[in-house]
């Protein structure tokens, strides 16, 4: 019923928006086939991005052979990591002030351009540039995939869909080396990147046709819009985080930790990042990371939780295949197959937990369950021996995978639950940035621990040239080590890898502490409270 002014009475308004969270604008969500196509396209984009992170692991030897670029191998991974991690927060700022649909499509476009450049690269330098471009686009897709879900799915249903996205991320991250090995052996390494083109184009077209999202209403001038993007903060943050990541990438591997270049990079990174923090305090609402958001209890603790979860996840995903290849003699392809227990348990956990949260509304318990199971699983994995049975390494992976699946997406969900909708983009970007940074930091710590322990242990074996063994890699051990010495070398490898697994265990244990600080919010309870005035932005204009 309408009043004489043509407006709905308050009672009708309340009834119409009973299912809205306090963090959602008063717009209808897509349903049916339209929603299915949007979510499928979103999932495909996330699948490609996660795939691209690790698909080159088994292709790198062939790429370096073709380009005669053994010295560039480190850049093939780090160029992608640096641009992806460094621009994560900036993408969050862009999503805040511009139409999510167009920003997301721009990120997909950048990722596709990078894939084309990599696939068609005539030289190592061109390939590195392509990886950097793809990394830039991937960071926009990472945060954008979650931000998009907040615009097309009501809060009480998001845990299920967020869990599915998380399972897709986990699956693609771990099966990527399998696909990379298959493409490299059966076709060409270039298809590791060409595969992104048709799938990405289809996903982009579907989103362009079916996705309808509101544009933030603004009458700000161009100069004001630029100011909102925090140009001063960006100018110091980008080089600061790049210096930090280069320090982590090069320290202990390319250069010793006490090398002047590493020390200089570390000092410059520290100075620039301190300046960045000062700029954020000065800029307040126009900052890349507004202080009121990062000091919010759940955001700060969830970011720390993501940091440790990322460190645990990436460390084990990196070192487990190495254990299978070195200790069990598995090929890169079969080591990926041996990781399937972790993948399958992760998928099962993310889907089940997503469904449970959808029905109960509480995500906090699963953060504790995640940390507990991850710690137990990682702790058991540190006990691996050269003769560990398949029953044990399968079971231990299942425990770890279940834990990872339980909490993989909860930090992002916490950001959606405690922030107003206009701040969700920034909150989600903070979580992804923390996860990426944690992965970068702990993988470097793990690599340093592994390398140092392996070098020391091999040095105690007479008749062994440590340098030759290190250059041979995990898959070449049995070809260069005499049979009589192989058990001792494998024992040294196993001991060193066990120490690296302890790094992942430490990160898992620390995540428990950070989970304690996250506020207990019921996403179903938030819905019934109705939208609060301070959390509802002005009604936007719908655009194509």
- Residue 526's pLDDT is 54
d(CA 164, CA 348): 10
Strand partners, 543: 213
- Residue 375's pLDDT is 92
- Residue 475's pLDDT is 65
- Residue 486's pLDDT is 77
- Residue 220's pLDDT is 61
HSE, CB side, 13 Å, CA atoms: give it for residue 158: 34
d(CA 413, CA 406): 12
- Residue 162's pLDDT is 72
- Residue 238's pLDDT is 83
- Residue 421's pLDDT is 74
Q: Is 150 helix (H, G, I), strand (E, B) or coil?
A: helix
- For the chain, counts of helices (H) and of strands (E): 25, 2
CA proximity to 172, closest of 47, 293, 298: 47
Question: How many Cβ atoms are within 10 Å of 502's Cβ, its own excluded?
Answer: 17
Question: How many Cβ atoms are within 10 Å of 391's Cβ, its own excluded?
Answer: 8
CATH class of 290-528: mainly alpha
- Residue 201's pLDDT is 92
CA proximity to 202, closest of 60, 44, 400, 352: 44
Backbone angles phi, psi at 536, to 5 degrees: -105, 110
- The fold for domain 26-218 equals Growth Hormone; Chain: A; (1.20.1250)
Q: Which residues of the chain have pLDDT under 70?
A: 1-27, 30, 57-58, 61, 65, 69-74, 156, 170, 174, 214-223, 225, 252-253, 332, 471-476, 523-544
Residues in the chain: 544
- The rounded radius of gyration (Å) of the Cα atoms in the chain is 24
25 class by beta-carbon count within 10 Å (0-12 exposed, 13-18 middle, 19+ buried): middle
Q: Cα 385 to chain center, whole Å?
A: 30
Question: How many Cβ atoms are within 10 Å of 272's Cβ, its own excluded?
Answer: 19
d(CA 276, CA 358): 38
- Residue 525's pLDDT is 56
Answer yes or no: are the C-beta atoms of 130 and 117 closer than 8 Å: yes
């Amino acid at each position: 019923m309408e009043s004489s002014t043509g407006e709905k009475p308050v009672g009708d308004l309340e009834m119409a928006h009973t299912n809205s969270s306090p963090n959602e604008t008063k717009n209808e969500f897509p349903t049916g086939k339209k929603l299915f196509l949007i979510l499928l396209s979103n999932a495909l984009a996330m699948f490609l991005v996660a795939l691209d992170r690790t698909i080159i692991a088994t292709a790198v030897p062939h790429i370096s052979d073709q380009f005669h670029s053994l010295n560039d191998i480190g850049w093939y991974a780090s160029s992608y990591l640096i641009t992806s991690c460094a621009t994560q927060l900036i993408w969050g700022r862009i999503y805040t002030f511009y139409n999510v649909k167009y920003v997301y499509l721009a990120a997909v476009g950048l990722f596709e351009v990078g894939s084309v450049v990599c696939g068609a690269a005539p030289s190592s330098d061109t390939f590195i540039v392509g990886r950097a471009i793809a990394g830039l686009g991937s960071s926009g897709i990472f945060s954008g995939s979650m931000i998009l879900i907040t615009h097309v799915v009501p809060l009480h249903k998001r845990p299920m869909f967020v869990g599915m996205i998380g399972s897709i991320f986990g699956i693609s991250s771990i099966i990527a080396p399998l696909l990379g090995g298959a493409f490299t052996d059966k076709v060409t390494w270039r298809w590791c990147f060409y595969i992104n083109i048709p799938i990405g184009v289809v996903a982009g077209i579907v989103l362009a046709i079916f996705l309808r999202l509101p544009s933030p209403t603004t009458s700000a001038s161009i100069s004001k819009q630029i100011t909102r993007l925090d140009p001063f903060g960006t100018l110091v943050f980008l080089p600061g985080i790049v210096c930090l990541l280069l320090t982590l990438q090069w320290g202990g591997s390319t250069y010793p930790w006490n090398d002047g270049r590493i020390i200089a990079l570390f000092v410059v990174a520290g100075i620039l990042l301190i300046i960045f923090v000062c700029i954020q305090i000065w800029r307040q609402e126009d900052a890349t990371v507004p202080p009121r958001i990062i000091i919010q209890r759940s955001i700060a603790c969830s970011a720390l939780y993501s940091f440790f979860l990322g460190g645990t996840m990436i460390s084990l995903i990196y070192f487990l295949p190495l254990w299978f290849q070195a200790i069990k003699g598995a090929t890169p392809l079969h080591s990926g197959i041996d990781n399937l227990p972790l993948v399958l348990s992760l998928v099962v956990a993310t889907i089940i937990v997503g469904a449970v949260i959808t029905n109960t509304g509480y995500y906090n318990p699963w953060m504790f369950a995640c940390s507990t199971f991850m710690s137990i699983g990682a702790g058991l994995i540190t006990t691996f021996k050269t003769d560990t049975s398949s029953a044990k390494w399968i079971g231990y992976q299942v425990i770890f995978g279940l834990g990872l699946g339980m909490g993989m997406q909860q930090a992002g969900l916490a950001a959606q639950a405690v922030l107003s909708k206009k701040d969700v983009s920034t909150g989600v970007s903070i979580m992804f940035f923390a996860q990426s940074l944690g992965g970068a930091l702990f993988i470097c710590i793990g690599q340093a621990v592994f390398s140092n322990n392996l070098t020391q242990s091999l040095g105690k074996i007479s008749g062994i040239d440590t340098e030759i063994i290190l250059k041979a890699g995990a898959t070449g051990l049995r070809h260069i080590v005499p049979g009589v010495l192989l058990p001792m070398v494998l024992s040294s490898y196993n001991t060193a890898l066990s120490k690296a697994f302890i790094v992942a265990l430490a990160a898992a244990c620390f995540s428990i502490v950070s989970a304690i600080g996250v506020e207990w919010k019921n996403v179903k309870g938030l819905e019934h409270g109705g939208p609060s005035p301070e959390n509802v932005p002005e009604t936007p204009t719908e655009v194509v």
